[in-house]
Amino acid sequence: MSLRKQTPSDFLKQIIGRPVVVKLNSGVDYRGVLACLDGYMNIALEQTEEYVNGQLKNKYGDAFIRGNNVLYISTQKRRV
């Protein structure tokens, strides 16, 4: 069995259109559907929710996040 190593770029291409959590350097989380991103990690989210200290603070239709503010991106389970 051959295991193919996956690059971060491969991972990011695979999760476009899926629900994600974007954690910012400030500690704020944005949860939404990843619409697109670029080489600078600038991110566009749809159906976005903003969480501060684990508490829902705002809901946005679309959100654009500048890449230099991003600590990490992870996938999340689909909303019910």
All structural domains of the chain with their residue ranges? 8-75
Chain-centre distance for alpha carbon 33: 7
- Give the pLDDT of residue 78: 55
Closest CA to 22 of 80, 68, 79, 5: 68
pLDDT, position 61: 92
> Residue 50's pLDDT is what?
97
pLDDT tens string for the chain (80 positions)? Answer: 456 788 888 888 899 999 999 999 999 999 999 999 998 989 999 999 999 999 999 999 999 999 999 999 999 865 54
CATH architecture of the domain covering 8-75: Roll (2.30)
Residue among 40, 41, 30 at smallest CA distance from 63: 30
Q: What is the pTM of this model?
A: 0.84
Give me the sign of the Cα torsion angle 46, 49, 63, 78: negative
